[in-house]
Structure 1
Amino acid sequence: MNPQKDINRIVDRAGQVLMNTYARIPVAFEKGQGCRLWDQEGRVYLDFLAGIAVSALGHSHPKVVETLKGQAERLLHTSNLYHIENQIALAEQLIEHSFADKAFFCNSGTEANEGAIKLARRYSSERYGPQKTTILCMINSFHGRTLGSLSATGQEKFQKGFGPLVPGFSFVPFDDLVALDENWDDKICAVLMEPVQGEGGIRVPDKAFLKKVKKRCQERNALLILDEVQTGLGRTGTLFCHEQFETQPDIMTLAKALGNGLPIGALLATNEVAAAFQPGTHAATFGGNPLVTAVAGTVLSIILGEGFLPGVRKTGIYFQNQLLGLKEEFPQVLDVRGMGLLLGIALNRPGKPIVDACLQKGFLINCTQDTILRFAPPLIVEPEEIDALIKTLRALLKEMN
């Protein structure tokens, strides 16, 4: 073995030069294909995390690779001082298939959420006065790690040590309309929420909740901002998760799957709201560059292709049914939750031992909220690959028994 590729040496090198922001797993991957990854020792893994819901089309998708190579040979970056045709084409695609009239591109989900916060506050201050600036968020939400989106995140464990946070955010329990009404005041300019909480434990609200929140916003001169960074672009079985709740936001954020591994975020809004941004009010130097928007356009075209989203729904139902079978079989599985191919099982004990054991057996999953096993595989995952994971989970749960 090449000593440079020894995992202990790789871990040591990382410790010498990288800030310690991740509790990294001692594995380094060298290549990927479809739902499979190979580490530096040639060991193969089935990926049921997809880079945290990013690699929607799997690894090294041929059309994505072809687009990437072709665009890289022509042009990478010019800045947004000039028109970028790939960016315009991607915006046209997103607008054609969503509620939105305008798009803004950035580099990540947290950056998209920062933009949404700014847009909501600027729109409301111009329309209703400078006192209307509070954004109502959900407990156990996650919107990112930059200071504004961190301040909007309803989990203190992520905020500890970073005060003072940005003021103007308040929090209510997720899926609790009574609490939302009780905590509403005239300063609220927007409600910011995920349609399904990801880091919060794969929590799906009541079917009517989003629609009722939108109604409250309309009645009280507030905007509904939906963070679809994790749930959007097919992850839950429809292009956008909110479609299944029969409502529409005023502002929506996207990222993760849009670039299938390349960094891109998007902020979508109606004409009325988007007009609050004018030259000088918001910007992103790298946002929507020719390379990433070319790739994102290909990704979106594939997801919108005939049969793709129905296939995600079918596979998601199959996966969920297999997980429900584990719930029936093992008392330590308390709940199965999620939508499409964003799924989780709640355990009656910490989930990390199962995550670690799955890794040793060649499966990548993770754990959120300490006891929730999260599954977010590439949207191209096959039933046979799901069966292989279920077989492993069943064996591990038997050992726990």
Structure 2
Amino acid sequence: MRAAGDAEPRTVAVLLEVLQGEGGIRPSDIAYLQELRRLCTERGWLLMIDEVQSGIGRTGKWFAHQWADIRPDVMTLAKGLAGGVPIGAMLAAGPAAGVLTPGSHGTTFGGGPLVCAAGLAVLDALESEKLLDNAHAVGAHLKDSLARELAGTPGVADIRGRGLMLGIELARPCGVLAMRAMEAGLLINVTRDRVIRMLPPLILNRDEADRIVAILVPLIQQFLAEQP
């Protein structure tokens, strides 16, 4: 990272997802994020974090970067912010707020009255129903259950993620599992060809998490037992 910054003196910002979604549910190492924050501060770079998928309680905290106890200069939000109503938002702090001022950065789905009312209702529900705590607890239960039931299954490369943003990486492309799961009553998708991505609703309870495991584990095991 230092070498890249030294080689390119025009660098002014670093933009990243701290928990990649389309990239295959890959959490960044906490020490890496803390060092990145320190380096950006030292060099005068903006630290810009994309929390479109990982924000708004998805990982058990309001924003995934909070697990590393850091604060970005710029943060982008969408998706869960209005509970399914199209919305987009950008937050800026410190010197960045003096450059990225209101109205200077456009968005396809901005801050109309309807979506803002939906966003406020979502934030109220997350607090009043303690859904961040639920995402953390039920997500840990789901992840542990998947790890236990898939332990020793040849072809399961990794199970990772935080809260209710989880991925199961298999040893070979598994896009066919999305359709098989749907036929069994479960909605999943596959990203990076080999990673089963799960982002269940934040109201998920333990019984529902157990039903996910009961449906998904046999599908994975059957798929991996097939000849490629």
Matched residue type, 1:251 = V
Shift of 1:305: 2.4
Aligned residue in 2 for 1:240: 63
Q: Is 2:171 aligned against 1:348? A: yes
1:198 to 9, 21, 31: 21
Q: Is 2:48 aligned against 1:225? A: yes
Secondary structure of the structure 2 residue equivalent to 1:364: coil
Distance 1:368 1:395 in 2: 20
Aligned residue in 2 for 1:339: 162
Mapped contact 1:330–1:397 kept (Cα < 8 A) = no
Mapped contact 1:326–1:333 kept (Cα < 8 A) = no
Give runs of aligned pairs for residues 259-338 of structure 1, distance below 5 A: 259-277=82-100, 281-283=104-106, 287-305=110-128, 307-338=130-161
Does the C-alpha gap of structure 1 residues 383 and 221 become closer, same or farther in structure 2, counting only changes over 3 Å?
Answer: same
Shift of 1:399: 2.2
Secondary structure of the structure 2 residue equivalent to 1:345: strand
Does the C-alpha gap of structure 1 residues 211 and 309 become closer, same or farther in structure 2, counting only changes over 3 Å?
Answer: same
Shift of 1:293: 0.2
Distance 1:311 1:361 in 2: 26
Give runs of aligned pairs for residues 124-135 of structure 1, distance below 5 A: none
Does the C-alpha gap of structure 1 residues 399 and 282 become closer, same or farther in structure 2, counting only changes over 3 Å?
Answer: closer
Shift of 1:386: 1.7
Does the C-alpha gap of structure 1 residues 307 and 280 become closer, same or farther in structure 2, counting only changes over 3 Å?
Answer: closer
Shift of 1:277: 4.0
Shift of 1:390: 1.2
Secondary structure of the structure 1 residue equivalent to 2:125: helix
Does the C-alpha gap of structure 1 residues 335 and 368 become closer, same or farther in structure 2, counting only changes over 3 Å?
Answer: same
Mapped contact 1:363–1:389 kept (Cα < 8 A) = yes
Distance 2:112 2:163 in 1: 31
Q: Is 2:13 aligned against 1:182? A: no
1:362 to 165, 168, 185: 185
Distance 1:286 1:241 in 2: 22
Secondary structure of the structure 2 residue equivalent to 1:187: coil
Does the C-alpha gap of structure 1 residues 195 and 398 become closer, same or farther in structure 2, counting only changes over 3 Å?
Answer: closer
Cα deviation code 1:136-193 (max 9, x no counterpart): xxxxxxxxxxxxxxxxxxxxxxxxxxxxxxxxxxxxxxxxxxxx12211321000000
Shift of 1:395: 2.0
Shift of 1:367: 0.2
Give runs of aligned pairs for residues 38-77 of structure 1, distance below 5 A: none
Mapped contact 1:327–1:334 kept (Cα < 8 A) = no
Cα deviation code 1:218-255 (max 9, x no counterpart): 11110100000000000011011111011110000000
What is the root-mean-square deviation in Å for CA atoms of aligned residues?
A: 1.7
Aligned residue in 1 for 2:195: 372
- Which of these two proteins has the greater Rg computed from alpha carbons? 1
The TM-score normalised by the length of structure 1 is 0.53
Matched residue type, 1:374 = R
Matched residue type, 2:73 = D
Matched residue type, 1:183 = A
Does the C-alpha gap of structure 1 residues 189 and 327 become closer, same or farther in structure 2, counting only changes over 3 Å?
Answer: same
Shift of 1:283: 4.5
Does the C-alpha gap of structure 1 residues 374 and 279 become closer, same or farther in structure 2, counting only changes over 3 Å?
Answer: closer
Worse overlay, 362-371 or 281-290: 281-290
Shift of 1:359: 1.0
Distance 1:313 1:206 in 2: 18
Aligned residue pairs, count: 222
Higher relative contact order (CA 8 A, sep 6+): 1
Distance 2:55 2:203 in 1: 16
Mapped contact 2:150–2:217 kept (Cα < 8 A) = no
Secondary structure of the structure 1 residue equivalent to 2:85: coil
Distance 1:243 1:394 in 2: 31
Which consecutive unaligned segments of at least 5 residues does structure 1 have? Answer: 1-179
Matched residue type, 1:305 = S
Does the C-alpha gap of structure 1 residues 275 and 370 become closer, same or farther in structure 2, counting only changes over 3 Å?
Answer: same
